[in-house]
Structure 1
Amino acid sequence: MTRKSLVSDKVVEKAFKEIFPSGVSGMNDTQKAEKIYNYIEKNVTYSSVDFRQSGYIPQKPSKTLVTKLGDCKDLSTLFVILGNQAGLKSNLVLVQTNNNSVQRLILPNLSFNHCIVKVNLDGKETFLEMTDKYLPFNSVVKGNYKAKGLVVYTDKATSGNSDLIDISIDNNTKTSFKTISEVNINGDLQNFSTKQFVMGETKSYYNDFFQDSQTEDYRKKNLEEEFGSVLDKVISVKSVKLLDGKDLTAKPLSYEVQFNINDKPQSVGSLKIMKIPFVTKPFTKEVVATENRSTDIQYTKYEKQNDYFEEVYLNIPEGMKFIEIPENKTLAYNGFNYSINYNLEKNNRLKITRKADTPWDNIKKEQYPEFKKFVEDAINAENQILGYK
């Protein structure tokens, strides 16, 4: 049924020439695929409503190009036909996204709810998501991680394996969050200059966040709620500035936020104490709130990032110095890693570096006690108190 839709015509040929006006000579597979991907994301709008066409058979690529609308299978089919013309080896993949039970596919059925592309990029089997116009090329998508998939082989000469596969993210750009904060503390006032660098699926959110259609007030209010929730403080955002990377490439999108907190520090005699003002939170107590579990933790429902990196530079007034500094800590559990390190650069300047790897693998109920201890130890490590006077 799919093979009938995988046809080229004058409309497709015209689009191919727009993408490759000088042909594909000298280009590698990744460069070809990225050009096709960018063209589709910028020129065709994803529509999840399938009543306008068959629920099972993709539109012909020419119709998707003319109407500039298509659902997941239409956009994927358009990529495959353009990719084939560019010399790429690509196929459609039916997917049962990981927010649905794998038990639905125990018996043969049509319970797939999504369609993506499998393409060979310079010898590496890669899976591409086509339905998010803000998503950078070749990004990991959480809903597809280890989801069940069925490759659709449309070449009669290809004897493809009809077994279900687990969608791999090994050759995709991981979802990453890097934060660097310069914090100046003076009495009751804490001034923050925070830069954040985002990659992968998270970059899609910020590509949209920094569109011209979004107002400055919207961005300020959004970040006041986000940072305020993590810091558990009332904050006031002064400015939000896009620095670089608002595009569909794999490079990070970066932005800077200036904000302050007016909050009287706690004191023990002449010693003032404070918690480390991290603005991201890789682990929270909610994921280990119960003493025991009778079911596994589906970690993709809890975590958006694959890894976190955060540096905080704390500056207190000249003449004051940090007295109480916690010990460095390193923790690990299976693929999860956590570390926090302190470096007293000057008496009144402290650098704190925290790293966390948060893979999306499920936590089996039998693993829960060890995982719970790891998370609690990580939370305790970054809830330590700093003292200065």
Structure 2
Amino acid sequence: MKKMVVLLILIVLAYSSQAQYAVKEIPEALTSNAHLVKRLDDIRVEIKSPGKAYYYRHYVYTIMNEAAERYAYFVDYYDKFREINNISGTLYDASGNKIKNVKKKDIADESGTSRNNLADDARYKVHNFYHKSYPYTVEYEVEGEMKGIFNLPEWQPVPAPEVAVEKSSLTVITPKDYTLRYKELLYSGNVLTKDEKSGKIYQWQLNSEAAKPAEAYAPEWDHISTRVIIAPSLFEFGGYSGEMSNWQNFGKFMLSLYSGRDILPADIKAKVHQLTDHLKNNQEKVATLYRFMQDNTHYISIQLGIGGWQPLDATYVANNKYGDCKALSNYMVALLNEAGIKANNVLIKAGEDETDILSDFPSNQFNHVVVCVPNGKDTTWLECTSQTVAPGYMGSFTGNREALLVSENGSTIVRTPVYRKENNLQIRNVKAAIDANGKLTAKVSTTSTGLQQDNLHSLINNSTPDEQKKRLQGLFTLSNYEVPAFSYLESREAPVPSLNETLELVANDYANITGKRLFLRPNIVSTYTSKLAETEKRTHDIVCTYAFIDKDTVHITIPEGYEIESMPPPVKLNNQFGAYHVSYKIEGRSILLIRSYERNAGTFPAKDYTGFVDFYNKIYKADQARMVFVKKED
């Protein structure tokens, strides 16, 4: 009898162990609107010394549908300063039954070197069960060692909208005499601390967090989700020691990495003086040396060991004509210094969607280096990884954000240039004709400046004519059109560059001719393409990241024998979000459309979302408006 009871207990324990992650056990409040449910996500960091730490992560994710498939992948990196000692994983079905375990041979080991990287010691451990029967659950554990604590993990339990969390935690263990620095963002609890013989323990937890819906024009997710950022005080990294309790000390560490690496070879020194000694002012000298650097170097990423942060020396760049962002920036600073112009390397968080760093929490928040030539209101900023960008132009990749200017006189937080509405223009002129069959032929000339030309500048300088034409074939909201010819002309002389695009456009059946009537949309190529959905409740503020102005002038000639039957009314809108105006004029066979659209940048309260939707949906409606012409009686 006792044997039977023991056997039954073992069977129950085995079954319960197998089915511990059944989807039906997830509270309904967490499955609602969730593509992913984090059943468990624990991160543990144990700092042994300024130069050594261990990390451990254990997570269990339930993939509710295909939209969460990216979370099913296991990816972790290792390099000279970060080792992965162990990885394990398990796949479960919807009932929580184990399907399979990860085998060592199933874990891919991939290089982190891309086509822009000459050398990179980062590698990745990658695994995927490739399971497609939803919902299902994946469990992974990873253990590793950090040789240097310059970078410490960040805890963001909810990484994106439509993700729910059952349990998540961050635990950090430090020596008793070590000062851990941390910053809590939107964390509603209190950090749990405990002193033990082994050291001091810090812990943050988040439980039972429902998924938040995605919202259009919402703030950057990092600004509206719970995060805890941890950073060292004293640290060792690649044979160098540092301290980052303030930006001045962070800058001193960076200066130690750059020390002695700004020496130019004799021929380059002579070239600097040949190019600049006769020029009248520093502005001309900066532009001349920047173009010299662009014409004689190219960007290649090199990330080996401490070389991920320490630049190749200026002589190496001069002789080999390549470098990564920090090497090219260091080289540019050396060129300017030789010409008697003081310049600084600047650490920045680059990316089109990036915003300000946490300037009140000194820590490594950077991924890029640029150059600043200080001169009050005439300060010049230089992006040294591009061979085509205008001197002084930052654009959407590094513009309008805080950065750390590294200086022997004290490193400080500075702001890169802001590009305002009047800098970001799109001026478009269209001359078109419609024949008796409704076929449209048009010549479209568009001049874009500032942030409005960024993507196009990148396209025409980094793609083939075929790729450029492919982009044009999907650019306009026309059902059937071709672009027989196109050309581009850039101006890189001003701090705010401009770019002109000229193209020919042919669209069969653009105008719909039915019986004696002709229907057409006079706004041919500048239509606002989507309607915003109204919501019962808006949670987050509305964010428009940058301001711009669009101006369109459209001339259309229609076939002979038609007169206007129905014409849309002019529309004029003006509020805190921007302004829109469209008007029409008809003289004989000629249609004239004048359109202007201005978007204001800023953050607007969630309560104004109804007005925001109304504003943009009225623009959408006005841009889609049609005219009706009727054939005149003979």
**Within the alignment, does 1:314 sit opposite 2:548 as a pair?**
no
Deviates more, 1:34-43 or 1:102-111: 102-111
**Within the alignment, does 1:371 sit opposite 2:612 as a pair?**
yes
Which whole-Å deviations, capped at 9, do the CAs of 1:100-145 have from their partners, x for residues lacking one?
Answer: 5757655321121222222245842343322222322333421334
Which whole-Å deviations, capped at 9, do the CAs of 1:322-355 have from their partners, x for residues lacking one?
Answer: 44333333333436333223343x2211221222
Amino acid corresponding to residue 21 of structure 1 in structure 2 = Q
Q: Is the 8 A contact 1:34 1:137 kept in 2?
A: yes
Which whole-Å deviations, capped at 9, do the CAs of 1:124-172 have from their partners, x for residues lacking one?
Answer: 2343322222322333421334323122123xxx356x3x444332599
Q: Is the 8 A contact 1:184 1:315 kept in 2?
A: yes
Q: Is the 8 A contact 1:173 1:199 kept in 2?
A: no
**Within the alignment, does 1:285 sit opposite 2:534 as a pair?**
no
Q: 1:64 to 1:235 in 2, by over 3 A?
A: same
How far the C-alpha of 1:89 sits from its partner, in A, is 4.1
Q: Is the 8 A contact 1:45 1:133 kept in 2?
A: yes
**Within the alignment, does 1:223 sit opposite 2:488 as a pair?**
no
**Aligned partner of 2:430 among 181, 189, 193:** 181
How far the C-alpha of 1:24 sits from its partner, in A, is 3.6
The residue aligned with 1:382 is 623
The residue aligned with 2:441 is 191
Q: Hey, what's the Cα distance between the residues in 2 that align with 1:284 and 1:310?
A: 16
Q: Is the 8 A contact 2:388 2:461 kept in 1?
A: no
**Aligned partner of 2:498 among 252, 260, 268:** 252
Q: Hey, what's the Cα distance between the residues in 2 that align with 1:129 and 1:367?
A: 38
Amino acid corresponding to residue 191 of structure 1 in structure 2 = T
How far the C-alpha of 1:320 sits from its partner, in A, is 2.8
Q: Is the 8 A contact 2:336 2:343 kept in 1?
A: yes
Q: 1:330 to 1:32 in 2, by over 3 A?
A: farther
**Within the alignment, does 1:61 sit opposite 2:314 as a pair?**
yes
Q: 1:220 to 1:22 in 2, by over 3 A?
A: closer
Q: Hey, what's the Cα distance between the residues in 2 that align with 1:377 and 1:51?
A: 54
Q: Hey, what's the Cα distance between the residues in 2 that align with 1:16 and 1:359?
A: 47
Q: Hey, what's the Cα distance between the residues in 1 that align with 2:515 and 2:335?
A: 71
Give the unaligned 5+ runs of structure 2.
Answer: 1-253
Q: Is the 8 A contact 2:342 2:374 kept in 1?
A: yes
Q: Which has the higher contact order (CA 8 A, sep 6+)?
A: 1
Q: 1:293 to 1:114 in 2, by over 3 A?
A: farther
How far the C-alpha of 1:193 sits from its partner, in A, is 1.2
Q: Is the 8 A contact 1:118 1:128 kept in 2?
A: yes
**Structure whose residues are more often strand by fraction:** 2
**Within the alignment, does 1:214 sit opposite 2:464 as a pair?**
yes
**Within the alignment, does 1:334 sit opposite 2:576 as a pair?**
yes
How far the C-alpha of 1:251 sits from its partner, in A, is 5.4
Which whole-Å deviations, capped at 9, do the CAs of 1:294-329 have from their partners, x for residues lacking one?
Answer: 2345544xx7x8332222111112343444333333
Deviates more, 1:1-10 or 1:317-326: 1-10
How far the C-alpha of 1:209 sits from its partner, in A, is 4.5
How far the C-alpha of 1:173 sits from its partner, in A, is 9.4
How far the C-alpha of 1:58 sits from its partner, in A, is 2.6
**Within the alignment, does 1:354 sit opposite 2:595 as a pair?**
yes
Amino acid corresponding to residue 471 of structure 2 in structure 1 = N
Aligned residues: 372
Equivalence map 1:27-66=2 (5 Å) = 27-51=280-304, 54-66=307-319
Q: Is the 8 A contact 1:19 1:35 kept in 2?
A: no
**SS of residue in 2 equivalent to 1:39:** helix
**SS of residue in 2 equivalent to 1:58:** coil
Q: Is the 8 A contact 1:88 1:120 kept in 2?
A: no
Q: Hey, what's the Cα distance between the residues in 1 that align with 2:337 and 2:600?
A: 34
Q: 1:57 to 1:359 in 2, by over 3 A?
A: farther
How far the C-alpha of 1:366 sits from its partner, in A, is 4.5
How far the C-alpha of 1:51 sits from its partner, in A, is 2.3
Which whole-Å deviations, capped at 9, do the CAs of 1:166-200 have from their partners, x for residues lacking one?
Answer: 43325999443332111101132111111222333
**Aligned partner of 2:365 among 108, 111, 118:** 111
How far the C-alpha of 1:361 sits from its partner, in A, is 3.8
Which whole-Å deviations, capped at 9, do the CAs of 1:212-269 have from their partners, x for residues lacking one?
Answer: 9724x44333311222xxx241212222234x33767655332321121111634677
Q: Hey, what's the Cα distance between the residues in 2 that align with 1:41 and 1:73?
A: 15
Which whole-Å deviations, capped at 9, do the CAs of 1:10-54 have from their partners, x for residues lacking one?
Answer: 42x533543552534443333222222222222222234422762
Q: 1:107 to 1:22 in 2, by over 3 A?
A: closer
The TM-score with structure 2 as length reference comes to 0.52
Q: Is the 8 A contact 1:176 1:202 kept in 2?
A: yes
**Within the alignment, does 1:236 sit opposite 2:482 as a pair?**
yes
Q: 1:101 to 1:206 in 2, by over 3 A?
A: closer
The TM-score with structure 1 as length reference comes to 0.80
Q: Hey, what's the Cα distance between the residues in 1 that align with 2:522 and 2:342?
A: 50
Q: Hey, what's the Cα distance between the residues in 2 that align with 1:2 and 1:274?
A: 64
Q: Is the 8 A contact 1:135 1:248 kept in 2?
A: no
Q: Hey, what's the Cα distance between the residues in 1 that align with 2:297 and 2:421?
A: 23
Q: Hey, what's the Cα distance between the residues in 2 that align with 1:384 and 1:211?
A: 36
Q: Hey, what's the Cα distance between the residues in 2 that align with 1:9 and 1:93?
A: 19
Q: Is the 8 A contact 2:419 2:451 kept in 1?
A: no
Q: 1:329 to 1:14 in 2, by over 3 A?
A: farther
Q: 1:222 to 1:97 in 2, by over 3 A?
A: closer
How far the C-alpha of 1:211 sits from its partner, in A, is 5.8
Q: Is the 8 A contact 2:492 2:498 kept in 1?
A: no
